[in-house]
Amino acid sequence: KSGFITIIGRPNVGKSTLLNLLTGEKVSIISRKPQTTRHNIRTVVTREDFQMVFVDTPGIHKPKNKLGEFMMNAAMDTLDDVDIVLYMVEATENEIGPGDQSIIAALKKVHTPVILAINKVDLVEKSSLLPLIDMYSKAHDFREIVPISATDPRTVELMFGILKKYL
């Protein structure tokens, strides 16, 4: 089994942190500043039973200028070219803001399976997760919705287990 995976989401949701956790490499820049990951970075994870190629796209967002428009188009093209889209949001937000609204709108045109990871669950009460899952499941028909913490090493096997099903 093998396939291409792209991690998308607004700046700061934890895409680079998760990518680094899954690949075990410091391949992308982690920063509080948005847009530090400017290029698609490919990292290959090879295990006995699967091979996953990760593409860390710049976040899809409402384009404010030509560069933003270009990056949005590049990201959108990538989404249909991969086998799995891993869309990340933060558990600390209990509303779907304009940035995520526009990403979700874009995802509706995509044919690739989309898995939603609700990240940073370590920062919220357990009781807030069910309402969040409910809110996102109403917003889009995600293949899976999985609460995670990209800073927790146990997330490695959890995510690989889920991703493997869609290769």
Look at residue 57 and give the partner it binds from Mg ion, ligand GDP, none, a contact being a CB closer than 5 to 8 Å depending on partner kind: none
The answer for residues whose C-beta is within 8 angstroms of residue 137's C-beta and 6 or more apart is 145
Q: Is 31 in the site for ligand GDP (CB under 6 A)?
A: yes
Annotated ligand binding at 161? The verdict is: no
CB of 137 to Mg ion, least distance (A): 26
HEC secondary structure over 90-127: ECCCCCCCHHHHHHHHHHCCCCCCEEEEEECHHHCCHH
Task: Provide, for the chain, the percentages of residues in helix, strand and coil under a 3-state DSSP scheme, each rounded to the nearest 5.
Answer: 35, 20, 40
**Given candidates 17, 43, 57, 112, which one binds ligand GDP under the rule CB under 6 A?**
17
Look at residue 151 and give the partner it binds from ligand GDP, Mg ion, none, a contact being a CB closer than 5 to 8 Å depending on partner kind: ligand GDP
Q: Is 24 in the site for ligand GDP (CB under 6 A)?
A: no
CB of 74 to ligand GDP, least distance (A): 17
Please state, as a whole number, how many other Cβ atoms lie within 10 Å of the Cβ of residue 146. Answer: 18
Residues shown for the chain:
167
- Residue position matching structure tokens 């249909």: 80
**Given candidates 37, 119, 149, 155, which one binds Mg ion under the rule CB under 5 A?**
37
CB of 106 to ligand GDP, least distance (A): 17
